[in-house]
Every structure is written in structure tokens, then in C-alpha cells.
Structure 1
Amino acid sequence: MTAREYDLIVIGAGAVGENVADRAAQGGLSTVIVEAELVGGECSYWACMPSKALLRSAASLRAARDLDGAKQAVTGRLDVAGVLRRRDAITHDWNDDSQVSWVEGAGIDLVRGHARFTGPKEVVVEAPDGTVTHLTATHAVAVCTGSAALLPDIPGLRDIEPWTSRDATSAHDIPRSLAIIGGGVVACEMATAYAGFGTEVTMVVRGAGLLDAMEPFASDLVRSSLEGLGVDLRFGVETTEARRDDGGAELVLSDGSIVSAEQVLVAVGRVPHTLDLGVEMIGLEAGRWLDVDDTMLVTGTDWLYAVGDVNHRVLLTHQGKYQARAAGDVIAARALGRRVDDRPWGVHVATADHDAVPQVTFTDPEVASVGLTEAAARKAGRRIRVLDYDLSWVAGASAYADHYTGQARAIVDEDRGVLIGATFVGPEVAELLHSATIAIVGEVPIERLWHAVPPYPTVSEVWLRFLEAYGRPTT
């Protein structure tokens, strides 16, 4: 057994763990990062990057076919093999050499293998070849292990070996038919991607709509789009049994109907990667999310941090990286005896993931949202005004496409005169989102936004339309 000591041990070398380690190393701490799979983690190889690669080509083809002059030049069908080649290139064929080089260049040590706690600040790592390394932290350990797909307790489901999001984003054989259990972000994105490949897609959704945490019009527009792609949507039903036969799989639904498909994708939620981490050795319950404060310090400890999905605050890569910058700064500051708020640069504590979270769902059309929805704002007791605008009425939309379909909503806190929420649905509206995020996080007064002039003709002119709907400033 090899024994090593560091100021900070980071468990998990995904985007979150990399940022914690990098920020702490920049702060002067000796840092080691432990990874059981690929350096770069879920986002690089099985989530954000490959899923967007799978979606982009078909979306571009549909956009070209909706533009006179371009559609006449589109004479072929989507080359699925080409899409998969591009996905493989973006994931570097699931090779992490470039990520390892970055870690080494940042002055961070890397230990490969499965980590388990043996006590406070004590971690044992078992490598695939059986080599064991004992790590001790003088100051802190950061758990950045992320989350995994939830498999619900449906009779027969595990026996049919369904896909999770990992399988869907890394597949090299595209099924003729795919049944998706779920109606959230992963379910909608993968339904869009596989329908674009020509796969016959059926979605089994327990609720009455899609993307139920978002504005209702987002659900309606995505639903219309999926139906236009030929997706069979089954709402208000649950899967009561799963079974496999020679032709594929069958899902028995609560209304008595049966869905048959070559493959089944389960996309109904996430669970934390804490089950086989040895957290019971430090007084925590295995398989549970880790509760933290705004410095990412785990409740009841003074040395253990949990960053990213595993703390269940916001399960999004960009928010995890934001938390990671805060955690790395705080760990370094505390280790060196500095007050947390004494750092002259960077993020001190994470607060933007309370009610200013930006998120993009890369369906076609895209859904981009930040802050509170109307329902969430009213539930919170805010006195609000809702501003709605049809994006197809903006001049930039007509320049973008011949048949632009989109909708935008802004939520204004009337007591403070600031924006607290925004949702955009339409082609490539993701690029509108950061301006809304800045307005919300910066608490920019509505009257001041009149001086942020949007260029013409672009879809961002919707900001002017919001202001016109709200009314002219009084001063």
C-alpha cells in the first residue's frame, strides 16, 4: 500500500472536481484528484457534450429545410453514421489523455481507482490492477462524484436491461424503435435526437405534460415539435411491467395498453453517487444526497465538502462548476487562515443556485430559462407582472427562418422593479439566456434596461418588446 498526504483530496475528476482542484491549487494547496472512470467525467463523455452532438446535425438540417433558397439545396437525408462520427470526435473516442494532460499541467496529482472513506480525512483508493493507495487530507476532502440515472422499481425493468442516458448518448447501433419512460429534459432531448435519426419513438409520461418544472408554453411548444417529428406521446400513464421477447421489449402501461420497442430508455430522475463511497465510516448514510451550506461544506462537518450533483442543489454542469469555484476558493482560504470574504477575486460563496439558475433544454425548439417561473414566483408570494411576447413577431425572427415559432416570457418583481425570471422557446434561443441571467443576478432596474439597446434585426430585440409592454420609464 502506498501512502500520501495532501492538503486537499478531491473525489471525482469530472468538470466539477477539476474546478475544485484547480481553484484550490491556484490558492496554494497541494491537491490530489481521484477518478474511477475517465478524467473529464459525465459531461464530457456521456451527457452534455455527446448529447448535443447527437442533436445538432438533425436540427441544422431541419433549419435549412425551413429557409427558401437553402431548402432547394438539401437533397439528401441525415447521415446518421456521420452524426455518430462527429459525436465520437467530440468525446475523443472516450479517451481522456487530453484531460489528464490538463490535470498534470495544473499541478494536480491524479490517482485512478475507486475511492472509499476509511475515516475523517482518510481515503483508500483501489486501482483496477489491485494497487491500493492510502490518502490523507490535512485540511479537506471534496466529494464531486455526481449522480447516476434512477431505475424505478418496476417489475421486470432491470431484467430487460434498459438504456440509461449514458447508453443513449454513447450508442453506436441506432434502434429501429425506442420507448422512453419519462418526460423531463433527458427524455425530451433524446426523443428529439432519435426521432431525427428516423427511429420510431414512443414516450411514456406519467404527468399531463412535458418539462413540468418549466412554463406551460414551453411544454406545449416542445410537445408540438415532438409530435411533428412523429413521436408517439402517451400522457397520464405509468409503466406497470416490463418484459423482453425476441422482437425487443414490451412495456405494460397502467391503462392496459402495451408499448413495443426494440430498446427502452429510462429517464425519470437521478440518484447520488454515494452508495459505495464508504460515507458510513464518517457518520453519513450511504446512497443519500449530501446537504451543504453556501460554501459547499457538508452539514455537521468542518472538513468535508460536497460539490455538484451530489449535493442536490442544482443538477447542471455549469452550476456545479460555479459551486466548484466557490468551494475551491473557500477551502484554500480556510486552510490558509483567511476569512472567506477576504479574497480579492473570484467567487466567495455560491448563492446564484438558489433562484437564478440558467438552464437550456436542447430540443427543437430550444427552451432557455433562468430564475423563477410565473408559478414559482406566485408560490413564493412575490408581487409580479408577467410579460409575454411571440418571438415570431420580432424582425430578427423573419430573417432567421421562413416559419419561426417561438415564445418569450419575463417575470418582473413589482416591489423591486427588477427581473426575476425569463423563459425563451425557439430556435437557438440559448444564446439569449445569458443577457437575462445578467439582468437577474445583477438586479438591473427595469428603467435602466431601456439603455441596453438590442441590435436590429435580431431575435434579442425581444428585450425592447418586453420593455414596451411594461411601459415607459417615469424618470
Structure 2
Amino acid sequence: MNETTRTYDVIVIGGGPVGENVAERVRAAGLSTVVVERELLGGECSFWACDPSKALLRPVVARADASRVPGLDPAVAGPLDVERVLAHRDRMSSYWKDEDQAEWLNSVSVDLIRGHGRLTGPKQVAVQTPEGDTVVLTARHAVAVSTGTRATLPPIPGLDTARPWTSREATTADKVPGRLAVVGGGVVAVEMATAWQGLGSQVTMLVLDNGLLERMEPFAGELVTDTLREAGVDIRFNTTVTSLDREGGQDGEVRITLSDGGQLAADEILLATGRAPQTRDVGLESVGLTPGDWLAVDDTFQVTGVDGGWLYAVGDVNHRALMTHQGKYQARIAGTVIGARAKGEPIHDAPWGAHVATADHAAVPQVVFTTPEIASVGLTSREAEQSGRRIEVVDYDLARVAGAHQYGEDYRGRARMLIDTDRNTVVGVTFAGPGVGELVHSATIAVAGEVPLDRLWHAVPAFPTLGEVWLRLLETYRG
């Protein structure tokens, strides 16, 4: 076993989209940079989350949309070609190989060390390589932790022998389970229930709460619930799993015992019950932090409670907004900040400035790729009420918009806009309905830009598109 030492201006632990973007930004600022990655460069999003899940979902959602269009419905009524869908998923995931990502990192002059990186003290990182060697790294300016999150599993008796799916297995499975039980009611649960039901699985959802997508506007979860049930998904609310047992070895069925004493059999069970930070084994104790904790940061993504201002936490690991696009937004800011501080340049810390994150508080967009799609940004009505602001809620039936008619018959959808009546700006928007994912950026601009309603009236939507809902919401507000 060999040990080598190297010194860089910046060390990035974690080579997912967030870590890659931090590295690219600080390298563009002229700082020597290295990325340490223990799995695949490109991270969870590229190989086990965003890319493979959307590849599974797209044909399911497209078929559902097409089935409403007169003249198309008989042509799309049959089953999907599962083999081709899974092959496309594999291509979208680059067959779980990261050579292209490594080539890109090299093209921006960032070094890569494969292995498990751990902090060993201020500005110090030790990397255990797959070959058993140790590389000791020292940072002149900063270390950025971008290790993301992992699935959390509840303490259910029989969990070890049941070998449940997490989100990773759900997005990478090579065959359709005949019966799939999904525990959870959040985004992963509803998206994977949508995907695998559409591919031919009999899906049962076991939901602890009394609704789906409980963190969003209630009508969003209600519409998804209706559509899943119409597709044949068995959804059981207020249900707890008390024990699991997989019978007959690896390929045996899973016996699920429920809190009401009932039992359920499934070929696979997906536990979509939350995420935890990947910080258990990155050496936090060496700098006075608690292993396994989320890393608290300020608006420049410096970790609080660590002397010297050299440690940054970017992306899901700081628990501000657990989405890839927000993590990349954070990375652009953090990389710019690190570069500025290394050069002794002033930090512009006013709201919406180049060196602070403001959108993570005010304008976080999200799309849930179910049938129907759900798209949101900013506050929900419940959050707005809790904030103490004076808010007016404006609702509109999306089926009444001319653009919805182009999606065929029986369009079901809803739009909600939240107006801060003191400031005369939009602070939250939620859309539910086919095709609404493409509306979320216009909503994000309205919220992030704090566009006054008097000016928003002059943003004329094209006819006939779903975007015309903006005009209808404004008309409804004015009465």
C-alpha cells in the first residue's frame, strides 16, 4: 500500500452534478481543483435517480396523454414494449459507466481521484483508493462537501431478509415485478408507482399519511390519487407496515404485515420513506461536527460552526432543497464565492446578489412526473398562511384554457397562484395537469423576479397554449 500527497487550491468531495459544477466554477476562477468520487462520476441523478426514472416514466405519461387525443386512442391502447423501455433507460443511464463524465471533467482541467475521501482535519482530506493506496490531499483555500443523500429505511422487523428496493433498485430493475408494494406517498413513491404500473406491474401503495404528496397543495395529491386508482393502483392511506418476511429465498414473495393485522403479498417492495445525508463516513468528527448530520450553511454555503471559513457544503447534503437543479444553482454560487474569496475580492451579500443564495428560500421549482404532472414553485397556501403574510389564493380550472383542448378529451387540471397583497407580487404557483411541467419556468421567473402584477399583465401568452392560464389567473384575481 502506497501513500502520496498532493496540494490543490480546492478539494471537492463528491462528483455528482453538484460537485462537478462547483469544480468547474472554481477552476474557471483559475484555482487548481480536484474531485474525489467513490462511485460513479455523475452521481445519483445520472445513474439512479433523475435520468433513469424519467426514462421509465416518459413512455407511460406519453401513452396516457395520447390516449385522450381523438384518433390516437386505439393506436396507443396496447401494452408498452417493456424491453425497449428498459433498453432506453439503460442508454439514458450510460449503461452505468462514467467515461463521458470523466472526459468532461478532464476537458475543464479538473483532476479526478477515485476513492473514498474523508476529512482528517482543517483543509485535509485522505482518500482510500480502490487499489488500497492512500492519497493525502491539502487544500490551500477550500474543501467542498457535495456527497448528497441516501435512502433511509424504517426499522421494520424482517427488513434485512426482505431485501427491499430503495429508489436505486426501483430505477434500475431489469424486469417488471408482477406485484409491487410501494411504502410511502412522496415524490419517489408516486413516480415509481406510475412507472411500474404503466409497465405492467400490479401496484399497491401503503401510505402512512392520509394523502399523497402531502407537502404540496392538496389538489395535487388528490388528482394523482384519482389517476393512479383509475389505472388500477391499490392505494391504502393511514397504513403502517409492522413486519416483513421474504419466503422461499431470493426470488420468493414478500409477506407484508400491516398495522391492522392484515397481510399482503408482493414480489418486490419499495421503501420510499425519506432521505438522509451522506455524511456518516466523511470525517466530520475531525473538524468538530457530528457524523451523519445535515451540514448547516450560510447563504454562501460556508458550513457554520467550523473555524476559518474553509469548509463548504453544497447540494442535498445541506438540506436546503433536495433537488439536482437547486444543487447546481448552489454550486454556481459556491464556486463563485470560493473563487472571489481566494482572490481577496469583496463578497456581494445583498439578496439576489451574485454571491448569496436567495432562490433556495423563495423560488424552488419542482416537477413531479406523474399522470397528471405536478409543477410548483415558491410557497404553498399552507406555508403562506404559516408565514403570516397577507395572501390571496387564486384558483383556475386548467381545463377551461384553450390550450388544454389540444391535449384531447377529458383534460383534468388546476392552477393556483398565491399573491402577496402587500407587495402585489406572486409568491407561489402550483399547476396540476398534463403538460404543466413546461409551465414551471415561467412561474419561477415570476416568483424569483418578484414581477409586479401590473407588469405581469403585459406578458402576453401565446394562443392556444397552456400558458394562457397566466392571463386567466390574473383576470380571476381582478374579478
Please confirm whether the aligned pair reaches a TM-score higher than 0.5, indicating the same fold.
yes
**Structure-1 separation of matches of 2:289 and 2:67:** 55
- TM-score, normalised by the number of residues in structure 2: 0.96
Corresponding position of 2:453: 446
1:99 to 87, 98, 101: 101
List aligned pairs for 1:41-440, cutoff 5 A.
Answer: 41-74=43-76, 76-246=78-248, 247-301=252-306, 302-341=309-348, 347-440=354-447
* Contact 2:10-2:31 at 8 Å conserved across structures: yes
Deviations 1:284-341 (A, max 9, x none): 1111110000000000221100000100111000000000111000011111111122
**Structure-1 separation of matches of 2:420 and 2:178:** 49
Amino acid of the structure 2 residue aligned with 1:360: V
Percent identity for Structure 1 against Structure 2:
58
* Contact 1:206-1:236 at 8 Å conserved across structures: yes
**Structure-2 separation of matches of 1:20 and 1:377:** 32
* Contact 2:67-2:77 at 8 Å conserved across structures: no
Unmatched runs of 5 consecutive residues or more in structure 1: none
- How far is the alpha carbon of 1:71 from its aligned partner? 2.0
**Structure-2 separation of matches of 1:349 and 1:19:** 16
**Structure-1 separation of matches of 2:330 and 2:231:** 37
Q: Secondary structure at the match of 1:349?
A: coil
**Structure-1 separation of matches of 2:465 and 2:6:** 56
Q: Secondary structure at the match of 2:406?
A: helix
- How far is the alpha carbon of 1:75 from its aligned partner? 6.1
- How far is the alpha carbon of 1:346 from its aligned partner? 8.6
Amino acid of the structure 2 residue aligned with 1:267: A
Q: Secondary structure at the match of 1:434?
A: helix
Amino acid of the structure 1 residue aligned with 2:100: S
- How far is the alpha carbon of 1:73 from its aligned partner? 3.0
**Structure-1 separation of matches of 2:231 and 2:155:** 31
- How far is the alpha carbon of 1:72 from its aligned partner? 3.4
**Structure-2 separation of matches of 1:446 and 1:125:** 53
* Contact 2:118-2:283 at 8 Å conserved across structures: yes
1:21 to 6, 23, 26: 23
Q: Secondary structure at the match of 2:265?
A: strand
**Structure-2 separation of matches of 1:423 and 1:29:** 41
* Contact 2:176-2:200 at 8 Å conserved across structures: no
- How far is the alpha carbon of 1:158 from its aligned partner? 2.6
**Structure-1 separation of matches of 2:155 and 2:165:** 15
Number of positions where the alignment pairs a residue of Structure 1 with one of Structure 2: 471
**Structure-1 separation of matches of 2:368 and 2:353:** 28
**Structure-2 separation of matches of 1:192 and 1:77:** 14
* Contact 1:325-1:347 at 8 Å conserved across structures: no
**Structure-2 separation of matches of 1:283 and 1:149:** 25
**Structure-1 separation of matches of 2:441 and 2:47:** 25
Give RMSD over aligned pairs: 1.4
Bigger drift between 6-15 and 55-64 goes to 55-64
Unmatched runs of 5 consecutive residues or more in structure 2: none
- How far is the alpha carbon of 1:440 from its aligned partner? 0.6
- How far is the alpha carbon of 1:342 from its aligned partner? 9.4
- How far is the alpha carbon of 1:229 from its aligned partner? 1.4
* Contact 2:348-2:354 at 8 Å conserved across structures: no
* Contact 1:157-1:242 at 8 Å conserved across structures: yes
* Contact 1:6-1:31 at 8 Å conserved across structures: yes
